[in-house]
Amino acid sequence: MSKSVLIIGGSSQIAQAIAYESIKAGVLVSIISRQTRPDNFSKDQLLHWFQDELQTQLSSQQQIGLALEYQPDTIFICNGVLHDAKAMPEKTLLQLDSELLAQRFHSNVTVPAHYLRALYRYLIKTPKVKVLVLSAKVGSITDNALGGWYSYRMTKAALNMLVKNLSIEVARMNKTASIVTIHPGTTDTPLSEPFQKNLPEGQLQTPEQTAKRLLNVGANLRPNKTGKLLNWDASELPF
């Protein structure tokens, strides 16, 4: 079991559920979020909250520096956007907008890249460190049989490549590190809410259920999986 967990992108329901489950287990939790600490989080001595409102390379570096004082052995990166008030996922290439694509790339790739860059020196020197970056099965090129969702699919595929590249580089200096992307499964959050209507029974999970799954994958993650895209049950998904 982890002794100290760092959760980046802490305003999402999955991230907060990971934090709750970890604190219940007596694990020290550090959270980095663009948002301020929500009222529903008690002033628990096991929880440390760091606000990164700007999410620039410099601000991310500064907040990571503060969070690393608690020496996390497991790190979750939960940043990402599927849809917002500006747009839903594209059904056809004719709906693809270059400005929106740039925004999605920033949220889904650039922001995680800033944090991974800030973590770099920690990752190459910390024994048995684990990093789980939340991605999506729809980011798998091989598994794509439906098309659509252009900006989300493209940016998640790019995120998978970012993590794959980093895993190779870190392994040259720290063979005990495990760095993966992971599909959390369909979770009952605002991200999936517009797409829940026709889901098979039992597929939709609560944030608490998803958090337990992800923590279990993290607890059992080993270096032989580094660089992989994993499903919520730790099985490997194709790139």
Average pLDDT, whole number, for the chain?
Answer: 94
Domain ranges of the chain: 4-237
> Which CATH number describes the domain made up of 4-237?
3.40.50.720
Q: Summarize pLDDT for 20-68 with one digit per residue, the tens.
A: 999 999 999 999 999 998 877 767 678 999 999 999 999 999 999 999 9
**DSSP assignment of the chain, as one string?**
--SEEEEESTTSHHHHHHHHHHHHTT-EEEEEESSPPPTTS---TTEEEEE-SS--HHHHHHHHHHHGGG--SEEEE----S--SS-PPPSSGGG--HHHHHHHHIIIIIHHHHHHHHHHHHHHHSTT-EEEEE--GGG-STT--S---HHHHHHHHHHHHHHHHHHHHHHTT-TT-EEEEE----BSSTTTGGG-TTPPTT--B-HHHHHHHHHHHHHH--GGGTT-EE-TTS-EE--
Q: For position 204, what pLDDT does the model report?
A: 83
- pTM attached to this predicted model: 0.95
